[in-house]
Structure 1
Amino acid sequence: MDIDQKKTEKQASSSNDVSDAESSSCIKEIKEIELLQEELEKDKNKFLRLFAEFENYKKRIKKERYDIFRAIHEKILIDLIPILDDFERGLKELKKSKDEFLVRGIALIQEKFIKILKEKGLNKIKIKKGDDFNTDFHEAITQIPAITEDLKGKIIEIIEAGYILQEKVIRHAKVITGK
């Protein structure tokens, strides 16, 4: 029995050695898997941050493009306003000439031009003599003594029309007010 017992102990001991080796190998593999999972999580977070940064970059570029186009659009319309002024002055002088066909032709061109500018968002500030002076829309060139008491602080003369581009005043109306 002694020999059998020794054999059994030896087999158990070698089986324990194999079992310890397998257990040690499993622990190493588990640790390696955990390290790989941590690295994967870090890479995933890095990717998500990069993706979010890229999306924000696209939004920022889109907004900047829109702002640039809007600024260019506004600048072009501002540059066209003096042409509207010239049309008004020209028509006023042409009406003195008695040539109805010429006056009507220029008036049609002016109307077409104004229609196109309105489609682009440009509108004339509606004012008339006797309206209250409003610094949001009017610029006082000078003040003159009011003929009557009710004209104090009111618009007496309109020197130059003002314009609004999509709810933004791009040129104040130049007026003379009563004091």
Structure 2
Amino acid sequence: MENNQEKSQEEMVKEAVEEAKKSAGELPEGEPGEDQAEEENAKEASEDEEVSDNEEEEPDEEQEPDEEEEPDEEDEDKKSGKKLFGKKNKKDKKDEKIEELTDRLTRQMAEFDNFRKRTEKEKSQMYEIGAKDIIEKMLPVVDNFERGLDAVKEEDKEDPFIQGMEMVYKQLMTVLGELGVKPIEAVGKEFDPNLHNAVMHVEDENFGENIIAEEFQKGYMYRDSVVRHSMVKVAN
């Protein structure tokens, strides 16, 4: 009996030890209620983080329509201009005819202006040519007046006829001067082939080299052109 009691006591102790071991082994794993609560808390925290991240990203997506640039007025104007002016409006036949006549009139006016200027230039040239021709023909008359007056003696200069001839000569020279005719200076001037015609050379110490010593026939100019060269004698 005592052995059975001891065994039963030993069995009870073993069972108690095993239960204690079991209880001791289960404690580190934690109670099921506490583990589930921690897992749920962890899930909620992760979900909150995801929600916060999504909330931070959503404003960017909402702002995309705001960031889209509104069409500029200039672009709209250009587009409207292309629509308006893209196709050239056909001109009316009357407008085309008016432009054609206007262009033709402008050309004719320009041609007429050129013709007028050219005609005026030709007229002036013809006038100068004609005037030079007349003056050249009158110069021998002037020469004869001068020769005749130079041949008059001193005692005959008081003769009324001689005085009248001198008055005619002076009047003739005045008219020629008003027309632009003037005599060319010669004696004492340096020889100029554009104005003088040398017909003789002389050795004279009283004159310098290439200086006109004597004039045989007077030369004349009409405005800026020579009508007749002076016939002179030049000193060497």
TM-score (structure 2 length as normaliser): 0.55
Distance in 2 (alpha carbons) for counterparts of 1:176 and 1:161: 12
Gaps of 5+ in 2: 1-88
Q: Pick from 127, 135, 154 the counterpart of residue 186 of structure 2.
A: 127
Equivalence for 1:4: none
Give the aligned partner of residue 41 of structure 1: 99
Larger radius of gyration: 2
What do the CA deviations read for 1:33-75 (whole angstroms, capped 9, x no partner)? 4444334322321221112112222222233223222221221
> Deviation of residue 175 (structure 1)?
0.1
Shift of 1:87: 0.9
1:164 to partner: Cα distance: 1.4
Q: Secondary structure at the residue paired with 2:153?
A: helix
Q: Which of 153, 157, 166 is the aligned partner of 2:210?
A: 153
Q: Which range moved further: 101-110 or 34-43?
A: 34-43
Q: Which residue of 2 aligns with 1:80?
A: 138
Match 1:68 to one of 126, 144, 150: 126
CA distance in 2, matches of 1:135, 1:46: 53
Which of the residues 177, 181, 192 maps onto 1:118? 177
Q: Matches of 2:104 and 2:168 in 1, distance apart?
A: 61
Distance 1:147 1:47 in 2: 71
Higher RCO structure, 1 or 2 (CA under 8 Å, sep 6+)? 1
1:141 pairs, out of 195, 199, 203, with 199
Identical columns (%): 27
CA gap of 1:147–1:53, structure 2 versus 1, over 3 A, is closer
The AA in structure 1 aligned to 2:196 is H
Distance 2:174 2:134 in 1: 16
Contact 2:197 2:231 in 1 (8 A): yes
**d(CA) in 2 for partners of 1:126, 1:35:** 72
Task: Select 2:147's aligned residue among 82, 85, 89.
Answer: 89
The TM-score with structure 1 as length reference comes to 0.71
Q: Is the 8 A contact 2:195 2:226 kept in 1?
A: yes
Residues 149 and 81 of structure 1, relative CA distance in 2, 3 Å threshold: closer
